[in-house]
Amino acid sequence: QVQLVQSGAEVKTPGASVKVSCKASGYTFINFYIHWVRQAPGQGLEWMGIINPSTGSSTYSQRFQGRLTMTSDTSTSTVYMDLSSLKSEDTAVYYCARGPHHCSSGSCTSYFDYWGQGTLVPVS
Amino acid sequence: SSELTQDPAVSVALGQTVRITCQGDSLTTYYASWYQQKPGQAPVLVIYGKNNRPTGIPDRFSGSSSGNTASLTITGAQAADEADYYCNSRDNSGDPYVFGPGTKVTVL
């Protein structure tokens, strides 16, 4: 079965960096994009970025430009999300999610079908 | 940047039907996907594409779209359906993906 297993919670201080891992299993790793989504306490979901695990190519939300780096390791089927210069407003649960992308008859559909369990990153 | 809007909260009587809407310019081009999230849990995909349900999602969940509005309908709401629901869409302006702010569904 498809699983995305994330690394554990990390407490950080302002100005530090955090690197969260997301290990995939149960499917062909290089065939699906991986997205990162975060959720601040009591708030909604926020899309952060996407990585193609096969090529390592990534696109980030404008909100995180310059602070966010996503990488992939095909030998371990793991993607990483590295967020630097942390602020208290970065306190959130960070999720990875698998992102199928289908095109048919000129119409494309994208969604997030499997999610990791989430990683809590308090910044204080 | 583009935005998706949702009603903050809706309530439905047990066994009745509730429709949750999501509005945004991007929805005239792209289908929305819908996610259910219960407290302390990761989101779960309930609807994607024109009206597709992942394996394991009850058929009381359905999706539709008209113009710039996507809708998620729960027909015969159950207590287990009480949760936050988020829509998401691709976007051609700003960030390539965007979430709506979420709708809290209360089953009375």
What number of C-beta contacts closer than 8 Å exist between A and B? 65
Q: Is the model's pLDDT at B1 over the cut of 60?
A: no
- By Cβ distance, the residue of B88, B96, B99 closest to A59 is B96
- Quote the mean pLDDT of chain B: 95
Shortest Cα distance, chain A CAs vs residue B15, angstroms? 27
Asked whether the beta carbons of B101 and B72 are under 8 A apart, the reply is: no
Asked if B106 and B8 count as a contact pair (C-beta separation under 8 A), the reply is no
Q: Range with the lowest mean pLDDT among A77-91, A98-112, B20-34, B88-102?
A: A98-112
Rounded average pLDDT over A56-81: 96
pLDDT tens digit string along A5-39?
999 999 999 999 999 999 999 999 999 999 999 99
- ∠ CA B4-B57-A114, nearest 5°, is 65
Question: Closest to B95 (Cβ–Cβ): which among A61, A95, A102?
Answer: A61
Which stretches does DSSP call E strand in chain A? 3-6, 18-25, 33-39, 45-51, 58-60, 68-73, 78-83, 92-99, 101-104, 107-110, 114-115, 119-121
| pLDDT in the model for residue B29 | 87
Identify the sign of the CA torsion A54, A57, A63, A65. Answer: positive
Q: Which chain A residue lies closest to B46 (C-alpha atoms)?
A: A113
Chain B residue numbers with beta carbons less than 8 Å from the beta carbon of A26 are none
pLDDT classification of B35: cutoffs 50, 70, 90: very high
Which among B56, B60, B68 has a CA at the least distance from the CA of B32? Answer: B68
Which chain B residue shows the shortest CA-CA distance from A62?
B95
Q: Which residues of A touch B99 (CB under 8 A)?
A: 37, 44-47
The tens digit of pLDDT for each residue in B52-89 reads 999 999 999 999 999 999 999 999 999 999 999 999 99
Q: Is the pLDDT of residue A102 over 90?
A: no
Residues from chain B contacting residue A63 (CB–CB below 8 Å): 95
